[in-house]
Structure 1
Amino acid sequence: MRPYNPPAAPYLDVVYSDAELLVLDKPSGLLTVPGRDPAHKDSLASRAQAEYPDALIVHRLDMDTSGLVVMGRGKEVHRALSTMFQNRQVDKSYIARVWGEPVEDEGTVDLPLICDWPNRPRQKVCFESGKPSQTRWHKLDSDGATSLLELIPITGRSHQLRVHMQALGHPILGDPFYAHPEALAAAPRLLLHAQVLGFEHPVLGREMHFLCNPGEAFQADG
């Protein structure tokens, strides 16, 4: 297991807050929720709850993935937001820099996924017992060596975007689980970022839309 050294700054990046919910920008390298090991106690949830004790996690990002996470304040709002995620009533898109350049400008990866138990937490494609998993992708730009893609998960399986990009032949740069050695060495971190999050406010009833850009690491020369 890799050593856990979560970033100390920014300690908690609050994109939006009100009496019902929080939207946070999680840095790469920080767990969304505490791990079982006491050494993995530090997390986005524990940091948020130190300041907002009623905040509850609705969904998660991988430790290596950065970007937008929403938390419900109180059980009722948490339940309402969780239902939206379960019913796919939330708009989500990610940005990723991948190895190489897809021939097409857009497409859909439709490959069933299952946990690769001997190699947890890795996932793998399995047509016999995998769960249905779909990802839409759009090419934003490319220099031939790497490409910037928008990824839209239709389903929400663990490591879905990472495995689907590997299966497409274009692993995400800096991916410690799925990138080949050259793609792994091409970036200091996993270049996957939850950029867009949209949903109906569970109390106010208005549409909420958040955009969080990924920063310089995603540039072609990063």
Structure 2
Amino acid sequence: MQAPSPTKPDHPSVPDPLGLIPRLLHRDASVLILDKPAGLPVHKGPGGGPNLADNLGALRFGLPRDPELAHRLDKETAGCLVLGRHHKALVRLADLFKRNEVKKTYWAVVEGGPAEDEGTIDLAMSPRDPKRGWWMKIDPQGQKATTLFRVLGRGEGRTWLALEPVTGRTHQLRLHCQAMGYPILGDPIYGSAPRHGGPGLHLLARSISLPFAPNKPAIAAEATVPSHMAAELAKCGFAPSP
């Protein structure tokens, strides 16, 4: 009897210089969710260097085009990042984000912390300098910005927060925490960290939930804790699952 042929892989082997494939948290025919590492910009910057957009070909898995970003994370922020695998998926994802139907929870370790164990931050924002649109300031006449916070742990002058952005403004969580008197640890823009050689931004896009398909459960994913955040989270009571 003839031996069965080897199982054919569902996609050809492709170069993956940034090691993106092992960092996938979710993959289906329409959506990918990537656990983005801290320090990797999503787009090419003026100084060049590795970036996510130039390496998305590793995540085609047999489709004719690269997946595309459905939203963005700051270079320094780690965690859940959503990509659409084709045009129809990207249109659907854009609509979900526009309608604020995507539930995102971030973890942050902040310097000091709020007196309350939970609450809401409502502080409008606008660009600090029109030539640097990513650099934001609190501005009562600016765009509405709302963040929900909940204390998950405290220790040694730090607080571990769960942050849920109701709106999605640039640098919203970083600016809101700074404006409330407890900047995110390692923030070189809104906190006290140096521009170079600091402890790294202690902000993680921990989990995301996408109600992508009607009448089906939401797509959900949870990112791992990056190594640079582990020690400070442990001081605040975080214990990784065995």
Say if 1:181 and 1:161 are closer, same or farther in 2 by CA, change over 3 A.
same
User: Is 2:180 the partner of 1:171?
Assistant: no
C-alpha deviations, 1:72-99, integer Å up to 9, x for none? Answer: 1110111001100100111101000000
User: Is 2:51 the partner of 1:43?
Assistant: yes
Give yes or no for contact 2:114–2:182 (8 Å, CA) kept in 1: yes
The answer for the alignment partner of 1:207 in structure 2 is 218
d(CA) in 2 for partners of 1:28, 1:65? 5
C-alpha deviations, 1:139-187, integer Å up to 9, x for none? Answer: 11111411100000000000000000001100000001011259x8996
Say if 1:164 and 1:203 are closer, same or farther in 2 by CA, change over 3 A.
same
- Cα deviation for residue 16 of structure 1 reads 1.6
Report which of the two structures shows the higher radius of gyration computed on alpha carbons: 2
Identical-residue share of aligned pairs (%) = 33
SS in 2 for 1:122: strand
d(CA) in 1 for partners of 2:145, 2:155? 29
C-alpha deviations, 1:182-218, integer Å up to 9, x for none? Answer: 9x89962100000010012348843211111323432
SS in 1 for 2:121: strand
> Any stretches of 5+ residues in structure 2 without a counterpart?
1-16, 236-242
- Cα deviation for residue 106 of structure 1 reads 0.9
Superposed CA RMSD: 2.5
Give yes or no for contact 2:106–2:204 (8 Å, CA) kept in 1: yes
- Cα deviation for residue 49 of structure 1 reads 2.8
Give yes or no for contact 1:135–1:154 (8 Å, CA) kept in 2: yes
SS in 2 for 1:116: strand
The answer for the alignment partner of 1:126 in structure 2 is 139
d(CA) in 1 for partners of 2:228, 2:193? 19
Give yes or no for contact 2:20–2:58 (8 Å, CA) kept in 1: no
The answer for the alignment partner of 1:73 in structure 2 is 85
Give yes or no for contact 2:92–2:212 (8 Å, CA) kept in 1: no
SS in 1 for 2:189: coil
SS in 1 for 2:88: helix
Say if 1:115 and 1:54 are closer, same or farther in 2 by CA, change over 3 A.
same
The answer for the alignment partner of 1:96 in structure 2 is 108
